[in-house]
Structures are given as C-alpha cells and as structure tokens.
A and B are shown apart, each in its own frame.
Chain A
Amino acid sequence: MADINLVTSDAEQANTTLSQRKRFSPYKVRFWTNSAVLNIVLIGLVLLTVIPFIYMIASAFKHNSEIFGTPITFFPAQPTLENMQALLTQFPFARWALNTAVVAVIGTATAVLLGSLAGFAFAKYNFRFKNILFIIMLTTLLIPYQVTIVPQFEIIRVLHWFNTYQALIVPRAVTAFGIFLMRQYTMTVPDELLDAARVDGSSEFGIWWRIVLPLVRPGLAVLGILSFTGLWNDFIWPLVVTTDPSMFVMNVGISSLVGPYDYQYGILLSGAALASLPVIIMFLFFQRQFLEGLTQGAVK
C-alpha cells in the first residue's frame, strides 16, 4: 500500500507543484489514489450517517404494511399522508409541538439573557464573592445530572409545578456553562468603551444593554443555539415532570407511543421526523455557529 501522506509537510513538496510534474509520475499516481480512497471512504461515512434520516423521513409517508413488509423499499411506492393525519387526530401532536416550541423559545431567551447578564458581571466587575461563586459553579459542573434530578423532582412537587410550563423551563434555564461562555466573550470587550459610556452618564444596565450585548452577539448566537437544541431535544426531565399528555413535549409524546403502538411505525416515524426537522433546518442555516458552539470546550 502506498505510503499515505496524511501529515503533510510543505517544505518537502515546495519545490515542484503538481502540474509541473510528469503526467504519471509515481508521486502523482500516489496522490490521486490516496485522494480517491479517502474521499470515497468519507463519502461512505456520510452516507451511512444520513441514510437512516432519509429512511425515517421516507417512511413517514409509507403505509405501515410497506414499512414492515419485504422487500424493504427506500422510497414509498404509494406515498400517503395517513400517518401524519393519524398523528394529528388520534394524538395531541399539535399540542406537543406547541409545548416544545414554548419551552425551547422561552427557555432559550431566559438562558441567553440571564447568562449574558451574569457573564458580564463576572467579566467586567470585581466584587467580593466573585471568586468563591466562580469556584462553586465550576465544581457543580463535575456533578452529573443524575444526582440532581431526584431532588429537583421533589422541589417541583413541593411547588405544585407538575405538568406546568414553569417546571419545564425554569430548572433548565440557567447553566454554569452559559456563564462561562458569556464571560469568555464579554472579556474581549474593551474596558475603555465601558468607561466612556459611564462618563457619558449611562447606567450600568444601560452599558450592558447598549454596548456589551451588541458586541457579544456571536456568543449570544452560540449560547442560543446550544440552549435551543438542548431544550428541544431534552428527554429525561420532561419525562419526569409531566404526566398529563397535553403537557408532553414532542420527545416524550412520541416515546409514549413506543410499546403500545409498536406496530404503527408509520406514526412513530412521522412523529420522529416532525420532531427532529426544526433543529435540522436550523442547523442547515446556521452551520457555522453550530459547529463552532459545540466544539467550544475542545478549544479551551
């Protein structure tokens, strides 16, 4: 097998360009074979990743018999909307979608506002408990959510917040990660701008609202996307605090169909497709922010 030159060194090939070399020089042949192999493998991986999604979306439009029957087909032979219809009439799917949207939108707005406000405080002020609070937040990151979920359930019970929007939004609205992220972004804002604003008579809140916020917009976008995706896709918490089907979010709703409705996979898959579509569409429009946001931790 030819020596795969994955770790390139520019000095080595600096002297001749690809086009200057002889047509079938061993170097060129090796280059193009390596290219072909790698690209084919990568395309294969992408297909492997994407095919289940296509299968899900296509199956949403198939009759149940076609999903279950043999031979397995990819695209529906007789496309039908009966699955979606069943979803909307037999189950409160529209309500589930509304719940998910409410939770995700309000939760994201809350997380972004509170997170950037607190991040601003940590970035640009010195106050007495700053370091202690920071360390406390850092240590809570070490604790996995399984520890807190049971007491949080108890708090919801004491507050009589079962099956309410507050229970779904409030406990998930504030994360230590959000503060860290916003603090990072806010620290890049020059202090002189803030001082100039103070000299001009702006209130502290006004500084945050009119100067800092516009400048940390990329950070707000990243936090917004991460929060939205996290809230939209959350499963275990809504599962725990809602028992009334009219308050289910989509994830919990379609999971409740697994088991009793196991053989009506058309309905299940169409529900899954509708549940995942908004985030996928958002992803396609905001690819850069998604990729950047989710690798934040790696580029510490």
Chain B
Amino acid sequence: MAVIQANVAARQSTYQKSNNWWKRNRRKVAPYLFISPFFILFAVFGIYPILYSFELSFFKGFGFDKKTFFGLGNYIHMFQDPSYIIAVANTTKFALGSVFILSPLALLVALAINSRFVRWKGFFKTGLFFPVITSSVVIAIIFARVLDTNYGLLNTLLGWFHIPPIGWLTNTNVVMISLILLAIWTYLGINTLFWLAGLNGINKEFYEAASIDGANNWQSFWQITLPLLRPVTLFVIIQALIGSYNLFAEPLLLTNGGPSNASLTITLYVYNQGFRNFNVGYASAIAYSMTVILLVLSLINLKLFGGSNTNS
C-alpha cells in the first residue's frame, strides 16, 4: 500500500516537475523558438553568403570547384580592368544624375503638392506612383519602344517639333543620359513621397513664428524648411545612391551594356562575370568593391546631413 502510494506520489511529482519546468521557463525559451526559423534561414542565406563571398574574392578559377588561391590578384586586376573602370564611371554618372537632378526635382514636386494651391493631393500622389510598383523588366520593355531611334514614341514626339531623331540607345554619349531620364521617370513618384513625408513632419508653428518676425517665403524655405528636412535628405540621397548602384535590368534588356560598354553598370558587370563567365572570385571582388564605394558615399552623406534635428 505504502509502496503504491509512494509510487503514485513519485509519479505525480515527476509529472508536476516537468510540467512546472516548462511553465516556469517557457517565457525564457519561447523567444529562441520564435526567432529560430527566421534565423536559421537568415544564417544560411544571409550571413554565410556574405562571409563566403569575401573568401571567394581571394580565389580565381572557373566556377566554384577549380579554385586557386590568388591573394589580392582579383582586386589588383580590377583596378586595371578597363571594363571595370567604365562600369564604375557609368554607374557613378548615373548616381550623380539621381542625386542632383532627380532628388531636387522630387522636392519641388513635393512642395507643389504640399502647397495651399493644390487640392487633389491624393490623386497626384497615386498618379506618380505607378512606375514604382512595376518591375524593371516591364519598364525596360515599354521604354525599348519609346526610346527606339526610328519608330520610338519619343523621337516621334520630338519630330513634331522638328527636332531630328536622337539615338537614345545607340549613341554612346547619349545612352547613360537616357538611363538617367528613365530613372527620373521611374523614381519621381516615390522620392516625392519621401519628401512629402518629411515636409509633413515640420511643425507649422515654425512658419508662423518666422512670418511674425518678418521673414518672406524664400527665407522661410532656406532657413526653416531645408534645415528641418536634413534627416529626410540623408535618407533620400542614400536611397538614390543604393538604387543607382543596383541598376541592372534596364541596361541588360535595353542595350545589354552596350554600345561598347557605354551603358555597362556595375551590377551588370558582376552578373556578367559571375554568371556568364563564371569568374566567381572576380565577381565577388567587384561586388565587395561596390560595397566599399557605397559605404564611403554613405559616410560622406552622414557627415553632411546627419546630426540631430535641433531647433534652428
């Protein structure tokens, strides 16, 4: 009797113990379980590739199997490779166009939409947004028709004003400009929205105080609006830079990097080296060099536009 009772008591206590352990500790254990599906995938497909790519950049050879250690050879070759230099130059030209033409233009549009004179704010915001949600492939296909030298919409339009047809995609001097124009068309909407979000964050009382102090509109703009837009400016410029370096589908589908590398962008070059020539080591080196360039540019921007948003 006592034995049975003791057994029952023992069983009960072990059952309660394991139950209690889980109940007591589940709050500590739960977060690990919650993040594990995410983190397992993230470690395999996110973190490991970053490290492996770095290692790859020091090897050379065709494909992933026959690899020989090459030290800094890939990087040295990179700086002497004319295609690489052209790719960097093209991409940088494109980035400058994005930062210095597209972003201010978007700011003007945002100011216009935000002003008292415009009532249909929602309509304009939506109307400018369509290119953002279409894939770059679709955009490239549409604009292959628009930018065609002989039958394209754009040259036909210019023809109505007696302007001779321009080789948008065939002239080495013009092709990057065409891509910049295409980028302006594509990203005006979302940049305008970024600026609008920033403008909405500015307290109207600043303007009232300024006008009481006798400031006119230009002064209000330069001394209140622009300084208070600094965080948004930082964001917009960094987004423009990152987006510029990712330019891939349009040059691939419109000109395949041509004519004679005039529209070769750095991502397209990585793709060519990595997936057409299978110089995976070299492709990784190029990709890492791009990371460094972006990092440097971002740091420069942080110095220019960073810092806390204090009252002016």
Residues of B within 8 A of A38 (CB): 112, 115, 117-118
Decide if A26 is an interface residue (CB 8 Å cutoff).
Answer: no
**Residue in B34, B112, B216, B242 whose Cβ sees the most chain A Cβ within 10 Å:** B34
Known A-B contacts A39-B117, A144-B242, A291-B193; A150 and B134 likewise in contact (beta carbons under 8 Å) = no
- Of all chain A residues, the one with the shortest Cβ separation from B190 is A294
Known A-B contacts A42-B118, A137-B42; A55 and B193 likewise in contact (beta carbons under 8 Å) = no
Asked whether B113 lies within 8 Å of A42 as measured between CB atoms, the reply is yes
**Residue in A31, A34, A205, A235 whose Cβ sees the most chain B Cβ within 10 Å:** A235
**Residue in A4, A49, A115 whose Cβ sees the most chain B Cβ within 10 Å:** A49
Residues of A within 8 A of B42 (CB): 137, 174, 176
> What's the least CB distance linking A74 to chain B, in Å?
10
Task: Report the Cα distance A287→B132, complex, angstroms.
Answer: 13
Contact with A along B106-142 (1 / 0, CB 8 A): 0001011111111010111111111111111110111
Decide if A121 is an interface residue (CB 8 Å cutoff).
Answer: yes
Of A81-89, A152-160, A214-222, the stretch lying at the interface with chain B is A152-160
The residue from A137, A150, A179, A198 contacting B287, defined by CB atoms under 8 A apart:
A150
> What's the least CB distance linking A23 to chain B, in Å?
19
Asked whether B41 lies within 8 Å of A173 as measured between CB atoms, the reply is yes
Residues of A within 8 A of B270 (CB): 146, 149-150
Known A-B contacts A137-B42, A171-B45; A144 and B271 likewise in contact (beta carbons under 8 Å) = no
Which residues between 108 and 151 of chain A lie within 8 Å of chain B, taking CB atoms?
114-115, 117-118, 120-122, 125, 127, 130, 133, 136-137, 140, 142-151
> What's the least CB distance linking B298 to chain A, in Å?
8
Asked whether B142 lies within 8 Å of A52 as measured between CB atoms, the reply is yes
Decide if A56 is an interface residue (CB 8 Å cutoff).
Answer: yes
Q: Is the interface of B mostly helix, strand, loop or mixed?
A: helix
Number of A-B contacts (CB under 8 A): 305
Which range contains the number of A residues in contact with the other chain? 35 or more
Known A-B contacts A34-B117, A240-B275; A208 and B141 likewise in contact (beta carbons under 8 Å) = no
Asked whether A117 lies within 8 Å of B37 as measured between CB atoms, the reply is yes
Decide if A200 is an interface residue (CB 8 Å cutoff).
Answer: no
Asked whether A297 lies within 8 Å of B235 as measured between CB atoms, the reply is yes
Decide if A199 is an interface residue (CB 8 Å cutoff).
Answer: no
Residues of B within 8 A of A71 (CB): 156
Of B6-14, B47-55, B92-100, B300-308, the stretch lying at the interface with chain A is B47-55
The residue from B28, B35, B156, B242 contacting A118, defined by CB atoms under 8 A apart:
B35
Decide if A50 is an interface residue (CB 8 Å cutoff).
Answer: yes
**Residue in A69, A279, A295 whose Cβ sees the most chain B Cβ within 10 Å:** A295
Asked whether A3 lies within 8 Å of B217 as measured between CB atoms, the reply is yes
Residues of A within 8 A of B44 (CB): 155
Residues of A within 8 A of B135 (CB): 232-235, 251, 275-276
Asked whether A205 lies within 8 Å of B217 as measured between CB atoms, the reply is no
Decide if A269 is an interface residue (CB 8 Å cutoff).
Answer: yes
The residue from A130, A144, A290 contacting B133, defined by CB atoms under 8 A apart:
A290
Asked whether A46 lies within 8 Å of B128 as measured between CB atoms, the reply is yes
The residue from B41, B52, B134, B284 contacting A174, defined by CB atoms under 8 A apart:
B41
Decide if B210 is an interface residue (CB 8 Å cutoff).
Answer: yes
Which residues between 18 and 35 of chain B lie within 8 Å of chain A, taking CB atoms?
26-28, 30-32, 34-35
Asked whether B288 lies within 8 Å of A7 as measured between CB atoms, the reply is no
Chain B interface residues toward A at CB < 8 A: 26-28, 30-32, 34-35, 37-39, 41-42, 44-50, 52-53, 56, 64, 109, 111-118, 120, 122-138, 140-146, 151, 153, 156, 185, 188-190, 193-194, 196-198, 201, 204, 207-208, 210-212, 216-217, 220-221, 224-225, 231-232, 235-236, 239, 242, 245-246, 248-249, 252-253, 266-267, 270-271, 274-275, 280, 283-284, 286-288, 290-291, 294-295, 298
A-B contact pairs, 17 of them (CB 8 A): A4-B217, A31-B117, A49-B128, A49-B189, A118-B39, A133-B39, A144-B287, A147-B49, A148-B50, A150-B280, A176-B46, A204-B26, A234-B135, A235-B135, A236-B267, A240-B275, A294-B132
